[in-house]
Amino acid sequence: MTDRSPTAEPLPRIGVAVVTMGNRPKEVEALLDSVAAQHVAPTRVVLVGNGTVLPAYTGYPFDVVTVELDDNLGCPGGRNVALARLREFGDVDVAVELDDDGLLVGTDVFATVQRLYASDARLGIVGFRIADEHGETQRRHVPRLRAKDPMRRGLVTAFLGGAHAFSMPMLAETGDWPADFFFTHEETDLAWRALDAGWKVLYEPSLLLQHPKTSPARHAVYYRMTARNRVWLARRRLPAPLVPLYLTTWTLLTLARTRSLDGLRAWAGGFAEGVRAPAGERRPMRWRTVWRMTRLGRPPLI
């Protein structure tokens, strides 16, 4: 660890949040082992059982606080519960959220997170790199349009839901996850709110979470919720002139990329649901945020 002078500001305190449906007990234990191997110990670890009963996790150099929910609230809803629990303790400055089937490869992840947040008071979100057991990072896991180089570090407009860190002061200003999204695009909603409030989103590829290679389409609700949540996202966060442009762009991309007729039917149903159903509070981003995102390489149209 880096030496600190007696007058230096204290390093931010790390809390860890994990949400599980109870179907990956061995993976959760391996993840907690990788958390325990960190040179910097977290102040708190909260494990949320999303509609499931959890065993007791003991023998770690930190307490694992378990929260059991009667119903599956979806990933964003479960994570909100974990964040609320971390807030109750009052001793967490940065929340690190990790997928339950992920694994921290290095032992200096939390130390690096501390250093990043200590050096920049306006750093809101840090996205980790996600790679499979062979070291390959899927294109969809690189949070920029030019995704050929997953090792390219820098400020971005999006982050990876599987592994990231949040400034707790940022969340106090922007609000937590959009729980009604349940699955897909909740990261975009939160990132856009953070950017609009003047916070930075950093992609830091040296922070690595090992995660099995997967496709989001493995979930039966993927096509419907992808379409519904994109419409909700546009209705909630975009200036009115950009809403039809954004939705047209993604409709054309979906038609070009989707090979499943059943998937397209589900997507169309989700799109209609997104138009009809209440989208939640409308709080469109400012035009200067649109320009800021454009300068970062990804205007809110694609």
As a whole number, mean pLDDT of residues 51-76 equals 96
Position 2 scores a pLDDT of 47
Instruction: Share the mean pLDDT of the chain.
Output: 94
Q: Residue 24: what pLDDT?
A: 94
Letter for the amino acid at 95? A
Quote the pLDDT of residue 218: 55
Q: Using the 3D structure, point to which of 214, 239, 264 is the last residue of a domain.
A: 214
pLDDT band at 145 (very low <50, low <70, confident <90, very high): confident
Q: Which of 195, 214, 233 is the last residue of a domain?
A: 214
List 173's β-bridge partners, or say none.
none
Rounded CA separation 298/302 (Å): 7
Domain shared by 254 and 160, yes or no: no
Structure tokens at 177: 């996850």
**C-alpha span between 231 and 244 (Å, rounded):** 10
294 in a domain, yes or no?
no
Collect all residues with Cβ–Cβ distance below 8 Å to 281 and sequence separation of at least 6: 236
Verify that 31 and 175 share a domain, yes or no. Answer: yes
pTM score of the predicted model: 0.94
Contact 176, 80 (CB under 8 A): yes
Q: Count of residues for the chain?
A: 302
Say what percent of the chain tops pLDDT 90: 89
**Region 287-297 average pLDDT:** 97
Residues 201 and 64 reside in one and the same domain: yes
- C-beta separation of 302 from 145 below 8 A: yes
Rounded distance between C-alpha atoms, residue 97 and residue 66, angstroms: 15
- pLDDT at 220 (0 to 100): 62
Give yes or no for residue 23 having a pLDDT over 90.
yes
- 203, 224: one domain: no
Q: Are 206 and 261 in a shared domain? A: no
**Domain containing 275: what range?**
217-279
Rg (CA), the chain: 19
Q: Are residue 176 and residue 250 in the same domain, yes or no?
A: no
Output the pLDDT for position 139. Answer: 87
Tell me the pLDDT tens digit for each residue of 225-275: 999 999 999 999 999 999 999 999 999 999 999 888 999 999 999 999 999
Q: Report d(CA 192, CA 298) in Å as an integer.
A: 12
What mean pLDDT is predicted for residues 287-301?
Answer: 97
Instruction: Flag whether 286 is in a domain.
Output: no
Output the domain CATH number for residue 177: 3.90.550.10
What domain count does the chain have? 2
pLDDT number for residue 147:
77
Which pLDDT score, from 0 to 100, does residue 40 have?
A: 97
Query: pLDDT: is 216 or 271 the higher one?
Result: 271
Helix (H, G, I), strand (E, B), or coil: what is residue 15?
A: strand
Which run of H or of E encompasses 222?
A: helix 222-237
The last residue of one of the domains, among 158, 181, 214, is: 214
Co-location of 54 and 90 in the same domain: yes
More confident residue, 194 or 217: 194
Q: Using CB atoms within 10 Å of the CB of residue 241, give its burial: 0 to 12 exposed, 13 to 18 middle, 19+ buried.
A: exposed
Residue 71 lies in a domain: yes
For 293, other C-beta atoms within 10 Å of its C-beta total 22
d(CA 112, CA 163): 14
Show the tokens assigned to 203. 């992609």
User: What is the reported pLDDT for 151?
Assistant: 95
Residue 205: is its pLDDT beyond 50? yes
In a domain, 101, yes or no: yes
Q: Is residue 31 part of a domain?
A: yes
Q: pLDDT tens, 100-143?
A: 999 999 999 999 999 999 999 999 999 999 999 999 998 888 99
Contact 248, 239 (CB under 8 A): no
SS3 state at 67: strand
CA distances from 157 to 38, 110, 145, 191 (A): 28, 22, 10, 7
The 10 Å CB-count burial string (b at 16+, else e) for 30-61 is bbbebbbebebebbbbbbbbbeeebeebeeee
225 and 209, same domain (yes or no): no
Token pair for 261: 């007729």
Q: Are 150 and 247 part of one and the same domain?
A: no
Residue 8 has pLDDT above 80, yes or no: no
What does the alpha-carbon distance between residue 301 and residue 250 come to, in Å, rounded to a whole number?
A: 8
pLDDT at 150 over 50: yes
- Cα separation, 85 vs 44, in Å, equals 10
Q: Is 25 contained in some domain?
A: yes
pLDDT at 4: 52
Identify whether residues 139 and 23 lie together within a single domain. Answer: yes
Domain for residue 289, yes or no?
A: no
Residue 217 has a pLDDT of 60
204 & 225 share domain = no
Higher pLDDT, 170 or 2: 170
Residue 238 located in a structural domain:
yes
* 214 band by pLDDT with thresholds 50, 70 and 90: confident
pLDDT above 70 for 201: yes
Q: Are residues 116 and 137 in the same domain?
A: yes
